[in-house]
Structure 1
């Protein structure tokens, strides 16, 4: 058997993506600190992206606009334009696909590229990375950083730990360099290790990535069982494999195209909702979105799930429950009836700031058991007609009357993507 070829995988990350798109569109802001902020009129505005100049003032993502302005009063504040960001992201994807047909989105501003078979056409990995970086900048104005390695997880860490911090915006992390480069890093630098897990590993005497990598797997499993008083073998193996840079997963352009296991929508509300009648409006709007998406994909769901959460994340309130319906459906009124029943049963009357509705145990809407009083086909014909109108003219062309009430959010959200302005 011939020797297998070591893969060459890149993780390409767009610097301060939303902010960079806005700076390219508004050259007058080129030398000014700029932030993209979630709706400032609602919930005090959260920083979604900050350009490098704003970051020099200490501005960070996820803080409030008020906190950011205290650090940098001359901030340029821009509302998000999600459709524009999606369009630019897709334009950048097309550039990547010129160098490899194996491009996998990781997020709107990060993508994996497998260039193993591209070297004969385009040169060395660094040459390809430089060409990608130059073309993306010329075509879109966006600066990309590229981590280059032999696996997806090590490419991600090469980008986050080194490429984002050096002048070239590129870094190569070969397998043989793990002990010298990766293992010497504090354990909190390991991919998927947050502050809470860092504290646990530190208490276990695992201060660096190397400490974790060089602990025999069987011993690590025992240590984690003892620490958490439960079987943590899967988590232990995950962290051990990450620390040792073991990741055989392919770069797949079809990762996000498999049939979903569930379809869900959630909504953060502009204020505390305290009355059931108000919450029922939101449940109906969410159910309509979920069923509309299921119908567009040709699925019905057997299990409905409902969840809610209060505004105080330090003292969490709420629940997440599910129930099996008598038969699978994607008819809004049927799912809504089950969702309300579930909500009534588990809601304790506390104020609600976030609501979620979902359908799971999906099956094809072409295959189902008929019952004597089945009205699904009649409802489905009606709803597919309204779906077609919404697809053509927008979700506000036909709305339920309750959505125009003060509790309704459908009209406001119709002008947004993912809760942010299009």
Structure 2
């Protein structure tokens, strides 16, 4: 068994959404299951497919109609995002019963540093992974795969390329064994390299991850400068370090709890919006969401940014502009007035399909400057009351009248998490 200086695991839940549904519905056992947008209309995008569906050729992100053509007997389930979040948090608690160093990477993937807990398993990290695997399966019905190495990059690589494909669901990738493992893989398997980047690597004569890893860094920087310009040195070093399995970053439990530099929301609209009145409705709804989040975190922001984008990506239209308000605030109406100024000033009248609002340059909401004739105290008290109602009963318990108009999206969004139904 190879020895590593740190022991980092990347735990991945197999076909997470579909696995949750199969665990909750014993009648789905032995049946191909996909989680997709609209089972009644048999339309939408496949968000997750269980292994039985994948064996029939069904893939994530394909249209549901294509999945049905490949697998006519597939069971289609509407997503339940609130339940998936609950199960994800339950699995996190299981991981934390083994070590306090657990860092979420996504809803179904988490990094686990078990270096300090290995003594309980006589240093056998593979046995530890198998025990955690059985624990999660027994508690939730979810099967997890574990990539293991001495850092996060290699643990992720081990999981994606090996643990997901072997029978045990556990794979160790020592850094001193990369020549016979990672480096033999084609360049498209490189973590963080998309289709366009791998195409560029091939044009440089780099066909495998090993080719990249063994290219001298200065040579790689020169090649990338020729391809992308003088500001590509950082990306060159990033890809070179990934290919060589170099990563010093720790597993940080609070990595997603640090104070944000900005808070924003954006919305893709169900159709093109072509009038100022329609756009103002969505702008108000987004501003309210942003301000509600800011109030919940105890922030006031002074810089407001608004963005609009058209539906035609071949001929992009729209704008993204920001302005500094007179004083920091998280009062919806005050931020909305500034957002409208940006919209009226920069919108060119072309149809809009996506709108975004962001608030930045924060300060503590407990300390602020009062102004003569300022009704901020009354406005803040009112918004604290509505926030409390929404926290207890849901966002749809109280809404602005404009949200009930055809342009309003708040009522529909209140039933969703991350764009999917709860």
Q: Distance in 2 between matches of 1:63 and 1:314?
A: 22
Q: Distance in 2 between matches of 1:317 and 1:165?
A: 44
Q: Is the 8 A contact 2:42 2:65 kept in 1?
A: no
Residue by residue over 1:200-231, the C-alpha shift from the partner in whole angstroms, topping out at 9 and shown as x without a partner, is: 11111121111211222222112111111231
Equivalent residue for 1:418? 418
Equivalent residue for 1:283? 283
Q: Distance in 2 between matches of 1:217 and 1:380?
A: 55
Shift of 1:39: 4.0
User: Does 2:12 match 1:13?
Assistant: yes
When residues 39 and 356 of structure 1 are mapped into structure 2, their CA distance, relative to the original with a 3 A threshold, is farther
Return 5+ residue gaps in structure 2 as ranges. Answer: none
Equivalent residue for 1:201? 201
Q: Distance in 2 between matches of 1:350 and 1:40?
A: 34
Once the two structures are overlaid, the 10-residue window that deviates more, 29-38 or 376-385, is 376-385
Q: Is the 8 A contact 2:33 2:50 kept in 1?
A: yes
Q: Distance in 2 between matches of 1:112 and 1:285?
A: 36
Residue by residue over 1:21-57, the C-alpha shift from the partner in whole angstroms, topping out at 9 and shown as x without a partner, is: 0011111111111111124679941111111111122
Q: Is the 8 A contact 1:40 1:46 kept in 2?
A: no
Equivalent residue for 2:30? 31
Equivalent residue for 1:73? 72
Equivalent residue for 2:153? 153
Equivalent residue for 1:244? 244
Residue by residue over 1:312-370, the C-alpha shift from the partner in whole angstroms, topping out at 9 and shown as x without a partner, is: 44544333222222221111011111112212222222222222111011111123344
Q: Distance in 2 between matches of 1:367 and 1:329?
A: 11
Equivalent residue for 1:63? 62
User: Does 2:230 match 1:233?
Assistant: no
Q: Is the 8 A contact 1:39 1:420 kept in 2?
A: no
Aligned pair count reads 419
Q: Distance in 2 between matches of 1:316 and 1:14?
A: 38
Within 5 Å, give how 1:381-392 maps onto structure 2. Answer: 381-392=381-392
Once the two structures are overlaid, the 10-residue window that deviates more, 42-51 or 292-301, is 42-51
SS at match of 2:161: helix
Q: Distance in 1 between matches of 2:49 and 2:99?
A: 31
SS at match of 1:106: strand
Equivalent residue for 2:131? 131
Equivalent residue for 2:311? 311
User: Does 2:290 match 1:295?
Assistant: no
Q: Distance in 2 between matches of 1:315 and 1:178?
A: 44
User: Does 2:335 match 1:327?
Assistant: no
Return the TM-score normalized by structure 2. Answer: 0.95
Q: Distance in 1 between matches of 2:252 and 2:400?
A: 41
Q: Is the 8 A contact 1:306 1:358 kept in 2?
A: yes
Q: Is the 8 A contact 1:100 1:114 kept in 2?
A: yes
SS at match of 1:246: coil
Once the two structures are overlaid, the 10-residue window that deviates more, 410-419 or 161-170, is 410-419
Return 5+ residue gaps in structure 1 as ranges. Answer: none
Q: Is the 8 A contact 1:43 1:270 kept in 2?
A: no
SS at match of 1:260: coil
Q: Distance in 2 between matches of 1:351 and 1:56?
A: 42
Q: Distance in 1 between matches of 2:207 and 2:327?
A: 53
SS at match of 2:191: coil
Once the two structures are overlaid, the 10-residue window that deviates more, 359-368 or 192-201, is 359-368
User: Does 2:334 match 1:338?
Assistant: no
Q: Is the 8 A contact 2:4 2:174 kept in 1?
A: no
Equivalent residue for 1:174? 174
Q: Is the 8 A contact 2:274 2:349 kept in 1?
A: yes
Once the two structures are overlaid, the 10-residue window that deviates more, 346-355 or 88-97, is 346-355
Q: Distance in 2 between matches of 1:148 and 1:29?
A: 32
Equivalent residue for 1:376? 376
User: Does 2:21 match 1:22?
Assistant: yes
Equivalent residue for 1:405? 405
Once the two structures are overlaid, the 10-residue window that deviates more, 68-77 or 173-182, is 68-77
Equivalent residue for 1:115? 114
User: How large is the Cα RMSD of the aligned pairs?
Assistant: 1.8
Equivalent residue for 2:271? 271
